[in-house]
Amino acid sequence: MWRMSLCAGYRSVGCRIVGIKGLWGSRVVRTCSTPAIPAGRITALQAVDLWTNHFVERGVMEPDHSSLHILAYLLGAKTINSLERGKLSEFLSPEKTEQMWRLCSRRLSRMPVQYVIEEWDFRDLTLKMRPPVFIPRPETEELVELVLTDVDMRPGTGAGVDAPHTCLEVGCGSGAIALSLLKSLPQLKVIALDQSQDAVDLTGENALRLGLQDRLQVYHLDVIKDAETVLSLCRHVSTLVSNPPYLFSEDMDTLEPEIFRFEDHAALDGGIDGLKVIKQILTLAPQILSNHGRVYLEVDPRHPPLIRRWVEANVEEMRYVETRHDVSGRPRFCILRKEKSNKDHKLDLD
């Protein structure tokens, strides 16, 4: 239900933009408060200043970064720093001005910049972004880094030294993790799951744009509701990676409007203790992974000791290996390993 109002919300903002051009400098505040497009020509820099001020007035977060990123995108650059000399002081064409107004007005409604410009970078990939599919966070770039460095150092995982590794990603979102791994590891195959059809579609779209679709399979599955199906699809996986919803339900209310209004809550809410999906992943892991296969999770900073204790008590075949920190020094990543116990070896049908 919240999703329907969301769509209606930003569509209505969109349809108010075209129309009356106010006088340059006049502050005509209309019903949905879209600032008027100036009658005369303005430079790129003037447009940025104007909109930064609008954002400040309306309490929009990161007002300067927002207008700079939108402008850079419009002028064909990633960031303002990489723009060609003098572009900032050039006049914007009427088309570009109109586009600037249209995009910045979306930002006024607290839509995240990544959704406004419909793209963002993750490691060395540029991915298409679309609400409500979860926007990749910088911490997750480090999760991928972790997996990549570990893969280099790991011996064969028992599936045969020359056999290509398969990785399972739970909750692929826009495809950031899956596609980064596929890009960096030419021999890797990835199975990606998400409970959201939008996410499945977007991952597929990004895979096609990057030419990585051949080694990727994406399924619309919920790791809790569709556990049986998941298990039938995934066997002898060497790596399980996930950035599962890990927020505590009570923290959902404290989220900024950018997140609360626009991103899929199911990609964020991990239940009372934030561990709902994590626990399910770890429960299924022994059946999905080959022996010595590893799990890499991004989690809330409070989780690592909780996860360690829970796994020791509840999942016999998973060993907690270590906790790694993110760039800000918070405990952020949990690494676990499947260790088949001796008694199971005799009954081993793998």
Partner 1 sequence: MAHRRAAHLLPTASQCVSRLWVPRLRNPPNAIGQTASFLGPNGAPGRAPRSLHTATPSRAAKLLSLDELFAKRSLQEHLKELQAEYAECLKAASSRGDEPRTERTRVSLLAPLVQSIGELDTKRRQLAETETLLTDEDPALQELAQLEHEGCQREIQDLRQKILDQLLPEEEADLSDLVLEVTAGIGGQEAMLFTDEVFDMYQGYARHQGWSFDILEHMTSEIGGLRHASASVSGPHSYKRMKFEAGVHRVQRVPRTEKQGRMHTSTMTVAVLPQPTEISFTINSKDLRIETKRASGAGGQHVNTTDSAVRILHLPTGVVAECQQERSQIKNKEKAMKALRAKLYSRKLEEETSRRYNQRKVQIGTKGRSEKIRTYNFSKDRVTDHRLGTTVHDVRSFLLGEDLLDQMNSWLQEFSNQEALEELLEETQRDGS
User: Which residues of this protein are in contact with partner 1, per CB under 8 A?
Assistant: 45, 61-62, 65-66, 69, 78-83, 85-86, 88-89, 112-114, 120-124, 134-135, 137-139, 141-142, 145, 243, 245-247, 251, 254-256, 258-259, 263, 267-268, 298, 300-301, 326-328, 330, 332
To the nearest whole angstrom, how small is the minimum distance from the Cβ of residue 330 to partner 1? Answer: 6
Nearer to partner 1, 81 or 197 (CB): 81
| Helical ranges in the chain per DSSP H | 2-16, 44-57, 63-74, 94-108, 113-116, 138-153, 176-184, 197-210, 227-233, 257-260, 276-288, 303-314, 342-346
Nearer to partner 1, 35 or 245 (CB): 245
To the nearest whole angstrom, how small is the minimum distance from the Cβ of residue 349 to partner 1? Answer: 38
Nearer to partner 1, 145 or 226 (CB): 145
To the nearest whole angstrom, how small is the minimum distance from the Cβ of residue 140 to partner 1? Answer: 8
Nearer to partner 1, 159 or 223 (CB): 223
Distance CA 315, CA 338 (A): 10
- Three-class SS of residue 70? helix
To the nearest whole angstrom, how small is the minimum distance from the Cβ of residue 116 to partner 1? Answer: 10
Nearest-5° angle of CA 163, CA 165, CA 168?
145
To the nearest whole angstrom, how small is the minimum distance from the Cβ of residue 114 to partner 1? Answer: 7
Nearer to partner 1, 151 or 227 (CB): 151
To the nearest whole angstrom, how small is the minimum distance from the Cβ of residue 252 to partner 1? Answer: 10
Distance CA 10, CA 106 (A): 7
Q: What is the DSSP letter of 316?
A: T
Residues 6+ apart with CB under 8 A from 314: 279, 283
For residue 128, the surrounding DSSP H or E stretch is strand 125-128
Which two tokens mark 263? 């991103």
Residue type, 175: G
Distance CA 301, CA 323 (A): 10
To the nearest whole angstrom, how small is the minimum distance from the Cβ of residue 299 to partner 1? Answer: 8
Distance CA 105, CA 58 (A): 11
Which two tokens mark 107? 């930002």
Nearer to partner 1, 113 or 192 (CB): 113
Nearer to partner 1, 234 or 275 (CB): 275
To the nearest whole angstrom, how small is the minimum distance from the Cβ of residue 319 to partner 1? Answer: 25
Measure Cα distances from 297 to 258, 333, 336 in Å: 24, 6, 9
Nearer to partner 1, 114 or 290 (CB): 114
- Say if residues 275 and 306 touch (Cβ distance below 8 Å): yes
Distance CA 151, CA 250 (A): 36
Nearer to partner 1, 134 or 159 (CB): 134
To the nearest whole angstrom, how small is the minimum distance from the Cβ of residue 59 to partner 1? Answer: 16
- For residue 167, what are the β-bridge partners? 190, 239
